[in-house]
Amino acid sequence: MKTMKKTRFIAHAAIIAAVYATLTVAVYPLSYGTVQVRFAEALTFLAALTPAAVPGLFVGCLIANIYTGSLIDIIFGSLTTLAAALASYKLRKNPWLVPLPPILFNALIVGYYLTLQYGGKTIFNMLSVGAGQLAACYAVPLYFIINYKKTTERLAPYVQYHS
């Protein structure tokens, strides 16, 4: 039984990583730079549903950030997503708060290092990244947040939930 549970966890994490990387790279111009909207960040809500989302989001972001060719983005962008996913998982009992860590962490950390990479005003880059995160993390999954219970019941056969 334990092997089956571990296999399922790895499979869920791998699927989330693949979807994150694919969504990010598929809309390449919008996903990178000082003005960006990473639609894949809507997947951070999955951290409220399954702990497999935490490594899945991290690996997906790592793969997507390889396309930037920037070591800073590969390392710090991916670690920012990991920290945000862990914080979102901790907030899973309040679905309205789940998107806050990705918004705040990315606005502050990614906004800061984008200034080092591309120049510009730090506050502009932070606000720009934060606005993109706000759109991706609240607007996209808003339906699922509003219908949280109904959504979790529908996904129950596919995802093992942890309280």
Residue 43 Cα to chain centre, angstroms: 5
For residue 154, what is the DSSP state? H
pLDDT in single tens digits along all 163 residues of the chain: 689 899 999 999 999 999 999 999 999 989 999 899 999 999 998 999 999 999 999 999 999 999 988 999 999 999 999 999 999 999 999 988 999 999 999 999 999 999 999 999 999 999 999 999 999 998 776 666 566 667 667 767 766 655 4
Please, are residues 113 and 72 in contact by the beta-carbon 8 Å criterion? Answer: yes
**Cα–Cα distance for residue pair 155/163, rounded to 1 Å:** 15
Query: Measured between alpha carbons, how far apart are the two ends of the chain, in Å?
Result: 20
User: Phi, psi at residue 161, to the nearest 5°?
Assistant: -90, 150
Query: What token pair was written down for 131?
Result: 């606005």
145 contact partners, CB below 8 Å, separation of at least 6: 45, 95, 96, 98, 138
Domain residue spans in the chain? Answer: 2-155
Amino acid letter, residue 84:
A
Q: Treating both helix axes as pointing N-terminal to C-terminal, what angle do 2-26 and 53-66 enclose, rounded to 10 degrees?
A: 40
Question: Which sign, positive or negative, has the C-alpha torsion 47, 51, 56, 61?
Answer: positive
**This prediction's pTM:** 0.85
Report the run of H or E that residue 143 belongs to, with start and end: helix 142-146
For residue 87, what is the DSSP state? H
Residue 50 Cα to chain centre, angstroms: 13
